[in-house]
Amino acid sequence: MQFTTLTPVNVLTGFLGSGKTTLLNRWVRQASMRNTLVVINEFGDIGLDHLLITQSDEQTVVEMSSGCLCCTLRGDLSRTLQQAIDALLAEGKPAPSRVVIETTGLADPAPILHLLMTDHWLAHRFQLDSVVCCVDAVNGEATLQAHRESQRQVAVADRLLITKTDLADEERLSYLANQLASINPAAEQWQVQNGNLSPDLLVGAGLYRGASQEYQVEGWLKSASYQLHYAMGHQHATSQQSAITPTPVTPSRQPTLTRHGENISAFCFCIEELITPEALENWLDLLMSLMGEKMLRIKAVVHLTDREEPLALHGVQHIFHPPAPLPNHSVSDRISRFVFITQNVAPSTVAELYRFFTSSTSPAITPTNEAT
Ligand SMILES: Nc1nc2c(ncn2[C@@H]2O[C@H](COP(=O)(O)OP(=O)(O)OP(=O)(O)O)[C@@H](O)[C@H]2O)c(=O)[nH]1
């Protein structure tokens, strides 16, 4: 895969009214957003958000309305990008060096990520850089309880932005931060008031960083952030560090979020033995076919029996990126690490299915906090 030639794409998501447009409006005025193509997906026949964005000569803002990108307009994303880029080139302007897609507030971002991975035209030109999700400090808690889409937006995010912090007290902020960390422990949390946050945090959340596309495996996987941390294979020291949170609000570990009987679990498996490619494929295939919808996010660095270099895997629900070989020096050991965010799937189920394909003699998994 030619990562150096692919244009980074950032997906800005968050529930209705969570502050996405306010943030974007600030960002498009920043120098680091020069030469960025902003795509705003609006729901309804008359989209307004794009009118609220202050546009400069150095950015292009295009609107996609009349439907939600995640359900009805999939073909339109490539068409919109293609037309916008053609128009730029026709005006003698350079092709964009970055694309930011603002989703509708009701969108489950997973289908958009799938599109970036699977659409032929898109996959050869663009690469997902990060998913940034706005969560309203006041309404966020209730929204998470009431709306599955909101949970899914949080689950796939690399960065969580708690917005409207001027309207919430410390106690509420702290509770929300914990709730967010219980869904997605590895996502950095930032607090934002009136969109006042540098767009630089869009960059560098993915596996590849900067123009040189160097690897940052630890920063990408953040397996140590996961509270439910299981060792398989030989007994392995578990790690239970706190989530990385550069904000004053430090999540202090809450149980998993439960909504109408739906439990979201975030957990990590470490597998010390080398895994055969067949076992890996069968395990993941079965997980995806039985419960793909419920596997909100999977990331892994895997060591296989038939190759020296590790592989990075990145899946959203039932779709995986093609495995990306990593240089040996990008990891410090030969332990495979999988991080999962699941909905109504217990860690023990995932582990049992692994054992089924490996006949592993691993010690029984004894979760300290089985969540589902
Ligand atoms: N007090 C306060 N209000 C804010 C803040 N950020 C955004 N708002 C207000 O919240 C409302 C919704 O913000 P938007 O930026 O339009 O939210 P959105 O996510 O784009 O909304 P949709 O397009 O409907 O999904 C607007 O009235 C904003 O002015 C903030 O930090 N503090």
Residue 17, ligand 1, Cβ within 6 A = yes
Is 124 within a domain?
yes
Atom of ligand 1 nearest to the CA of 22: 15
Angle at the Cα of 212 from the Cα atoms of 208 and 216, rounded to 5 degrees: 30
In the reported structure, the alpha carbon of residue 194 is separated from the centroid of ligand 1 by a whole-number distance in angstroms of 8
Atom of ligand 1 nearest to the CA of 49: 23
Same domain, 288 and 201: no
Same domain, 270 and 310: yes
Atom of ligand 1 nearest to the CA of 17: 21
Q: How many residues does the chain have?
A: 372
Same domain, 21 and 169: yes
Residue 58, ligand 1, Cβ within 6 A = no
Residue 140, ligand 1, Cβ within 6 A = no
In the reported structure, the alpha carbon of residue 141 is separated from the centroid of ligand 1 by a whole-number distance in angstroms of 16
Is 220 within a domain?
no
Residue 6 clears pLDDT 80, i.e. is over it: yes
Q: Probe ligand 1: pick from 21, 133, 136, 191, max atoms within 8 Å of CB?
A: 21
Distance CA 130, CA 145 (A): 25
How many Cα neighbours within 13 Å face the side chain of 306?
Answer: 5
Q: What is the DSSP letter of 198?
A: -
Same domain, 278 and 137: no
Angle at the Cα of 188 from the Cα atoms of 229 and 313, rounded to 5 degrees: 55
Is 368 within a domain?
no
Q: How many domains does the chain have?
A: 2
**According to the model, what pLDDT value does residue 292 have?**
81
Distance CA 255, CA 345 (A): 15
pLDDT single digits (tens) 320-343: 777 888 888 878 888 888 888 888
Q: Probe ligand 1: pick from 13, 16, 18, 22, max atoms within 8 Å of CB?
A: 22
The single residue listed with the structure tokens 């912090």 is 165
In the reported structure, the alpha carbon of residue 17 is separated from the centroid of ligand 1 by a whole-number distance in angstroms of 5
The neighbouring-strand residues paired with 111 are: none
**According to the model, what pLDDT value does residue 164 have?**
94
Residue 21, ligand 1, Cβ within 6 A = yes
Is 91 within a domain?
yes
CA 189 to chain centre: 13
Is 21 within a domain?
yes
Same domain, 290 and 270: yes
Q: What is the maximum alpha-carbon separation in the chain?
A: 64
Output the domain CATH number for residue 335.
3.30.1220.10
Q: Domain range for residue 189?
A: 3-215
Distance CA 183, CA 177 (A): 10
Same domain, 338 and 311: yes
Atom of ligand 1 nearest to the CA of 16: 25
Contact 131, 156 (CB under 8 A): yes
Which of the residue ranges 136-145, 242-251, 325-334, 360-369 has the most confident prediction, judged by mean pLDDT? 136-145
In the reported structure, the alpha carbon of residue 248 is separated from the centroid of ligand 1 by a whole-number distance in angstroms of 22
**According to the model, what pLDDT value does residue 367 have?**
38
How many Cα neighbours within 13 Å face the side chain of 18?
Answer: 31
Atom of ligand 1 nearest to the CA of 163: 31
Which of 215, 236, 265 is at the close of a domain? 215
Is 205 within a domain?
yes
Residue 344 clears pLDDT 90, i.e. is over it: no
* pTM higher than 0.90: no
Across 37-46, 177-186, 336-345, 361-370, least confident range: 361-370
pLDDT band (50, 70, 90) for residue 291: confident
Output the domain CATH number for residue 93.
3.40.50.300
Q: Whose CA is nearest to atom 21 of ligand 1?
A: 17
Is 272 within a domain?
yes
Same domain, 91 and 238: no
Residue 138, ligand 1, Cβ within 6 A = no
Tally of CB atoms within 10 A around 125: 19
Which of the residue ranges 215-219, 226-230, 232-236 has the most confident prediction, judged by mean pLDDT? 215-219
Is 371 within a domain?
no
Residue 317, ligand 1, Cβ within 6 A = no
ipTM confidence score: 0.98
